[in-house]
Amino acid sequence: MTSAQAAAEGATQPPALTIDALGKKCPIPIIMLAEQINYVPRNAIVSVLADDPAAFTDIPAWCRLKSHHHVGSHELPGGGWAIHVRRNY
């Protein structure tokens, strides 16, 4: 799968797992993601719900560091973001 195909699929693929980290301060959302990402199949999407502004930048940085793919971040109606990560390995 090319990166363009993965990005297109990530935009429409529903998350295999949603992690509710709303109200939690960094680094807790990243710790929750790191603990749970291996429970989804390779190439599956994990959605991290977070409202700490640090998570908005730190989760994509964690993805680069750990070789996972940050698919995108979407604003939530009540505040915060759904940050989508594709498990690469």
Position of tokens 């964690």?
A: 62
> CA 41 to CA 45: how far, in whole Å?
9
Closest CA to 47 of 82, 78, 81: 82
In angstroms, the CA 57 to CA 27 distance is 11
Q: Which of 6, 22, 26, 32 is catalytic?
A: 26
- Is 63 part of the annotated catalytic residue set? no
Residues with active-site annotation: 26
